[in-house]
């Protein structure tokens, strides 16, 4: 990333989400890697090479806008992983050709429970909860699949099995997923509907003889941490964390599991 005079990087926001204020607050609260972030709201003509745009992909033309930004040399961070696979593939292709980075929000990976953890699980069990409505179910399933990829260190599977129980043969109330990855790791996930709304995601992770029990939450601190980490790494020319190429593994798994649950 090209740093502007005075050691500042232009960071812009396209669209508004419930996380926008958190991200802006994280950047205004201090520096990362010695760089001061110039946070502004702007139209397309204010983006330039080396700038970073956080976008919600909320509007009909957001995908095309993101492509234009990438082609202009701007790095892009998507505020959600709930993006169709074909759209992610297009953005990944454009970013690779332009030599810029695309990040996709995965706050569970920045949960404080993961502090100091760098192993790959040999066995991982995950218990997640979702609330009312298809969006909560879809988001929970997608983030659980992404978490399986993160914990086991690969997105390539040998075998995928899944079953679901539905209320009135329509809305999911419980689902179980088994993933055997190509590196031998096994992930077992259960997803349960709760009337009170989703709570923390609970994990039991084994790495050889070591067993860890974690409660993962995607609160304010996690969104702040992923925001600063993405900006700090692209600023020093390092591969982006929570990159779009990594996100594709979780989305592909989502498609496989959904096909089994239909």
Between CA 11 and CA 28 the distance in angstroms is 11
> Under DSSP, is residue 212 helix (H, G, I), strand (E, B) or coil?
strand
Q: Same structural domain for residues 81 and 163?
A: no
CA dihedral sign, ordered 212, 217, 218, 222: negative
Q: Is-contact 185 206, C-beta < 8 A?
A: no
For residue 149, tell me if it sits in a domain. yes
For residue 259, tell me if it sits in a domain. no
CATH number at residue 102: 3.40.50.720
The pairing of strands 36-41 and 8-14 is: parallel
Q: Same structural domain for residues 15 and 46?
A: yes
State the burial class of residue 193 (Cβ atoms within 10 Å of its Cβ: 0-12, 13-18, 19+). buried
Report pLDDT for 157.
96
Structural domain boundaries enclosing 80: 8-106+221-243
Q: Same structural domain for residues 47 and 89?
A: yes
* Residue-level pLDDT, tens digit, the chain, 262 residues: 344 444 566 788 887 888 888 888 887 765 555 455 555 555 555 667 778 889 887 667 788 888 988 998 999 999 888 888 999 999 999 999 999 999 999 999 999 998 878 889 999 999 999 998 888 999 999 999 999 999 999 999 999 999 999 987 788 999 999 999 999 999 999 999 998 878 899 999 999 888 999 999 888 999 999 998 998 888 878 888 899 988 999 999 999 999 999 8
Report pLDDT for 36.
52
Q: Same structural domain for residues 124 and 213?
A: yes
Q: Same structural domain for residues 146 and 205?
A: yes
Report pLDDT for 31.
52
Domain ends where: 202, 217, 232? Answer: 217
Number of separate domains in the chain? 2
For residue 16, tell me if it sits in a domain. yes
Q: Same structural domain for residues 123 and 213?
A: yes
Eight-state DSSP code of residue 108: G
For residue 260, tell me if it sits in a domain. no
Q: Same structural domain for residues 161 and 34?
A: no
Reported in sequence order, the residue ranges of the chain that DSSP labels E, i.e. its strands, are 8-14, 36-41, 52-55, 75-78, 102-104, 123-130, 157-167, 171-181, 186-193, 201-207, 210-216
End-to-end CA distance of the chain: 44
Q: Is-contact 114 241, C-beta < 8 A?
A: no
- pTM, rounded to two decimals: 0.87
């Amino acid at each position: 990333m090209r740093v502007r005079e005075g050691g500042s990087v232009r960071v812009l926001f396209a669209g508004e989400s419930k996380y926008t204020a958190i991200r802006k607050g994280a950047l205004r609260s201090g520096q990362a890697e010695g760089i001061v972030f110039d946070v502004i709201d702007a139209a397309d003509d204010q983006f330039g090479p080396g700038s970073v745009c956080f976008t919600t992909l909320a509007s009909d033309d957001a995908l095309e806008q993101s492509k234009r930004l990438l082609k202009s040399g701007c790095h892009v961070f998507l505020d959600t992983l709930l993006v169709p696979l074909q759209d992610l593939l297009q953005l990944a292709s454009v970013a690779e050709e332009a030599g810029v980075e695309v990040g996709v929000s995965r706050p569970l990976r920045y949960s404080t429970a993961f502090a100091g953890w760098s192993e790959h699980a040999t066995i991982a069990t995950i218990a997640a909860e979702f609330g009312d409505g298809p969006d909560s179910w879809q988001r929970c399933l997608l983030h659980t699949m992404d978490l399986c990829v993160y914990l086991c260190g690969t997105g390539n599977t040998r075998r995928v099995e899944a079953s679901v129980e539905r209320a009135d043969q329509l809305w999911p109330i419980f689902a179980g997923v088994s993933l055997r990855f190509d590196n031998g790791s096994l992930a077992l996930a259960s997803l349960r509907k709760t009337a009170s709304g989703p709570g923390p995601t609970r994990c039991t992770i084994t790495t050889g003889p070591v067993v860890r029990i974690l409660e993962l939450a995607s609160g304010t601190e996690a969104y702040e941490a992923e925001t600063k980490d993405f900006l700090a790494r692209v600023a020093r020319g390092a591969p982006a964390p929570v990159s779009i190429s990594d996100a594709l593994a979780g989305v592909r798994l989502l498609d496989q599991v959904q096909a089994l649950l239909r």
